[in-house]
Structure 1
């Protein structure tokens, strides 16, 4: 046979279907196999290698983001009242005029992921066809649940259901009744279930496909190439990536502020420490150092182990409350509320305000929650892509949208349902405490159960671990986005973003407390309602051209010329490896050379 090794150029660039860098038509050293040859021998693509080579030299995206953030920080330090007034006016305008866009986009994300999971695209692997997951399913789910939005489990696990129980949304029930309990759980599921995880899933599958299958860098902008073309390599792409960084930063500072408030409230309950702003900022400073050091250790060590420890502690606390608390009430409430959520799904998903009171409620609950998830989209998407290489799109959708939603349904029912039952049978102390300060709701609920000193300490530890696991993942992603998409950012860049995250959270707390944190998240998410919609369209366009389906396509002369589809041109046709997808064609074999002894055909790159 005509034995020949694949050129180093092909191995390094990762060219061919599955990668953005296609074959050079002038290159006569064509591969000797049919199908798509996705994997570049495990080496990075040309774009990824270039980004990694320059990871110690941040570019225009890094410096532009730093400049905008420092300008914001300066404004907050010099004139906090002016900043607070401007943000309030902006968020009121956004809620009144385009708040509905948050609902439509999140609803569209659910529809897109359901379609991907049920269609032929669900078989596509996020990586090479021979890739398999790097992490076990348990470790993967633990990182998703704890690193993505774990602080919210403590901050809102009791506060949101009991708040809706005291003041039912849209006047759908009478306050303090069983009907109010069901409505409260419905809207808690709505805010923390598939709508949130679908946003993360769209970003995650798009970026995972772009990086692991197409060989692009870990940026948002390259995924929009089918729509904007080469303009994503210029100013437009830089603007998109800067938006992603700003939204990610302010979405995370909201979580940091909530986490600091929860930690200080817990320390007040256990040790009697004050809960003023100074203590909260001191907590942020200490935790910032910890999560920055954790981010420096990388995903395979710090983030992975902290996430697993956090999940074990969460499961233990949830089991304790379920069996020691009102078990029968929790079980019945879960079944009834889930049924109500499913039956009223579309009505809740598209409910918009028609009165001023409704508008105010939507602004501080539904609109804020949807905007919060959008502002987290890029961060969570990049992080999910980082840990999901080797999984199919169908596995990804189940693991990112379905499983976490069910876990959060159970968590909110156990803790929120227990609080509702205690207030139904008691004097309403938990609802009163939540109305005065949402940070006190979780610990007030625990005070109705045995071993409150121990469970309160566990809750504080959980908040700290959630705080660290979420913030160090955020720091890692911010560093990727500002380092040309390098998959292993430089340590100085990681340190800068860790410190800036803590600084912004502290200044926003000083400026306007929780309200300022929420406003920053909502405003930073507004441009992402457009970006995530474009991302969904771009993803479908690229999946339709994925080489996994080469065997269903008509072969064109242009496909053969560019290397998008490749047929054997030297030597006889041979049966491709099991991991490759081949063309539905019967190439005519050339006769064996009579004088040349048969040699073993080398394995093509990455096969």
Structure 2
């Protein structure tokens, strides 16, 4: 493999690269040859996972959030993701736009209107009347629960672990490096490489699902604007075009390509949000709801964080009902992003302290998500009629979720312009997610904190686009349920992997703090882990 890598001009770990690439090709081939059989298999597996382990997903993410808050306020918060005197690589504004646009920008565009309206018209809690004021408040609380602190917890935990071990311990830019406290030098052997191959494949699946959702929204927007059929063929063509755009961006590189696209895209999204706030005729109402919804969310968060709907689920024979399609799906989907977002966040956060990293990555995007959902979600519910019987937006969501944002803009001036801008923003979020993923997957294979040869990055961008296209084809007209089934199954083993990062991180933090307190610069972090804690002050 080493000789083949040299002949091809690759700068990567050949075992990880060729194994991941080979398995990726096999998966793509199987999806093409046996779409029906694979689809049925994912359906059965997803039912088993949600029925028997849905509680594990819900408890797990909440436990991670509590752990991160404790770490941030603990004695370990002053440790730096890098050398003791290292400065942050990017300014705060660029840092925020990059982590957001590379994170859930596509998700907010897709669900910003659709999720609150879905819960508003079909309340998740028994006894709540659809379209009532109580339904509206519950809808906002649940939407913020799904895409607020808990979602960013799933990104923050691996990001902290990667940044700490990769930059503090000078370990390779790979997922296996996080488990150095347990595996030691075996991270370079078969066990470590297996972890890394699995992380690469999980990342590709997670991003492919996101791109599939974004493509469905773009296709729906083109249909609304031009009358073009919202078909599987159109979605595949959209993916093809946007994959080409992402490929160009990833070839340009992080600073010129991804950073520039991120800054442009977040600016356009904020502009659209402010337009809705000030031109929809409900500005004061939305500002009042911004304050009230923040309080409602924080008050409801403890209960929602551990809610399992246990009594209702005990009476069901199949699956997990509502939470299987929403909460469990969200956590399983988001955790497949964990290797990608973790390495990406570590890459752009080098030099920041543990406390600054946790606070920035957890709080800043969650606040933006709050503002986004309040402005779009409450505007949509107000247009649909709070206390009424539903309106055009809930009807559109019932017909096709990707239509939600485009139907929403029919109540605003300059409708065609806004709908067209929505398509452009989703397309750019698609491109930033795809090129960020290609860059990170290449780093996971090479283990280097540098951009590899253009050919390597382009290869992964093309693989990502191909997988997204095949998942769309696998789902056909029911693409969204099919994507949910695939990602719930793929997410389980990655969820377990991220859980295992907590004890590894605790060992690393404690060991490094001992070394810092002792001021022993002749001992490396790896050597410190080997020491008996009783030999040195614990602090």
Q: With the length of structure 2 as denominator, give the TM-score of the two structures.
A: 0.91
State how 1:45-60 maps to structure 2 within 5 Å. 56-60=11-15
1:537 aligns with 2:503: yes
Structure 2 match to 1:338: 294
State how 1:276-355 maps to structure 2 within 5 Å. 276-325=231-280, 326-354=282-310, 355=313
State how 1:48-197 maps to structure 2 within 5 Å. 56-171=11-126, 173-197=128-152
CA distance in 1 between counterparts of 2:63 and 2:250 reads: 33
Question: Which deviates more, 494-503 or 171-180?
Answer: 171-180
Residues 251 and 454, structure 2, Cα contact 8 Å, conserved in 1: yes
Structure 2 match to 1:455: 418
Structure 2 match to 1:414: 375
Structure 1 match to 2:398: 435
Question: Which deviates more, 390-399 or 303-312?
Answer: 390-399
CA distance in 2 between counterparts of 1:489 and 1:172 reads: 56
Deviations 1:326-365 (Å, cap 9, x if unpaired)? 2233233333332222222222111124323881211111
> Which segments of 5 or more consecutive residues in structure 2 lack a partner in the other structure?
1-5, 530-535
> 1:171 Cα shift?
2.1
User: How many aligned residue pairs are there?
Assistant: 512
CA distance in 1 between counterparts of 2:444 and 2:296 reads: 41
Structure 1 match to 2:198: 243
> 1:517 Cα shift?
1.9
Question: Which deviates more, 330-339 or 209-218?
Answer: 330-339
Residues 101 and 529, structure 1, Cα contact 8 Å, conserved in 2: no
> 1:77 Cα shift?
0.9
CA distance in 2 between counterparts of 1:274 and 1:523 reads: 31
CA distance in 2 between counterparts of 1:461 and 1:296 reads: 21
In terms of Rg, which structure is larger? 1
CA distance in 1 between counterparts of 2:447 and 2:173 reads: 8
CA distance in 2 between counterparts of 1:253 and 1:134 reads: 29
Residues 218 and 426, structure 2, Cα contact 8 Å, conserved in 1: yes
CA distance in 2 between counterparts of 1:183 and 1:564 reads: 50
> Which segments of 5 or more consecutive residues in structure 1 lack a partner in the other structure?
1-50, 566-582, 585-607
> 1:551 Cα shift?
5.7
Structure 1 residue matching 2:508: 3-state secondary structure: helix
Structure 2 residue matching 1:275: 3-state secondary structure: coil
Judged with a 3 Å threshold, the aligned counterparts in structure 2 of structure 1 residues 481 and 318 are, in CA distance, closer, same or farther, namely same
Residues 166 and 177, structure 2, Cα contact 8 Å, conserved in 1: no
State how 1:491-510 maps to structure 2 within 5 Å. 491-510=454-473
Deviations 1:454-507 (Å, cap 9, x if unpaired)? 211211111111111111001111111122445322222111111111111111
Judged with a 3 Å threshold, the aligned counterparts in structure 2 of structure 1 residues 319 and 238 are, in CA distance, closer, same or farther, namely same
Judged with a 3 Å threshold, the aligned counterparts in structure 2 of structure 1 residues 385 and 559 are, in CA distance, closer, same or farther, namely closer
- Corresponding residue to 2:228 among 238, 255, 273: 273
CA distance in 1 between counterparts of 2:290 and 2:330 reads: 22
Residues 55 and 486, structure 1, Cα contact 8 Å, conserved in 2: no
Structure 2 match to 1:528: 494
